[in-house]
Structure 1
Amino acid sequence: MVQFESTVKHIPYSQERVYNKLSDLSNLESVRDRLDMMKDKFGGKIEDLSFDRDSLTLKVQGINLTLRIIEREPMKCVKFEGDKTPVPLNLWIQILPVTEAEAKIKVTIRAEVNMFMKAMISKPLQEGVERLADMLAMIPY
Structure 2
Amino acid sequence: MTIIQNQVTINRPVAEVYAFLADCNNHEQLMPENIYNWSSTRDEATFTIQNMAKLSLRIDSRIDNSEVVFVPAEKAPFDVTLRWKVASATDHTAIALLIIEADLNMMMKMMATKPLQKLVDKQVEQLKVIMDRS
User: In 2, distance between residues paired with 1:25 and 1:119?
Assistant: 29
1:71 correspondence with 2:61? yes
Q: Is structure 2 residue 60 aligned with structure 1 residue 61?
A: no
User: Which residue number corresponds to residue 132 of structure 1?
Assistant: 123
Q: TM-score, normalised to structure 1's length?
A: 0.82
Moved more, 57-66 or 73-82: 57-66
Structure 1 residue runs of 5 or longer lacking an equivalent are none
- Tell me how far apart the structure 2 counterparts of residues 13 and 50 of structure 1 sit (CA, whole Å): 27
From 97, 108, 111, give the equivalent of 1:117.
108
In the alignment, the residues of structure 2 paired with residue 82 and residue 135 of structure 1 have an alpha-carbon distance, to the nearest angstrom, of: 22
Quote the Cα distance in structure 2 between the aligned partners of 1:80 and 1:64: 16
Deviation, structure 1 residue 22: 1.5
Give 3-state SS (helix, strand or coil) of 1:107's partner. strand
Count, aligned residues:
130
The whole-number CA distance in structure 1 between the counterparts of 2:17 and 2:39 is 20
* Amino acid in structure 1 at the alignment position of 2:3: Q
Which residue does the alignment assign to 2:18? 19
SS in 2 for 1:139: helix
RMSD: 2.0
Shift of 1:94: 0.7
Aligned residue in 2 for 1:4: 4
Report the CA distance between 1:65 and its aligned residue. 1.4
- Give 1:94's aligned residue: 85
The structural deviation recorded for 1:58 is 2.0
The residue identity in structure 1 corresponding to 2:63 is E
Where 1:78 maps in the other structure, the secondary structure is strand
Deviation at 1:45, TM superposition (A): 1.4
| Structure 2: gaps of 5 or more residues | none
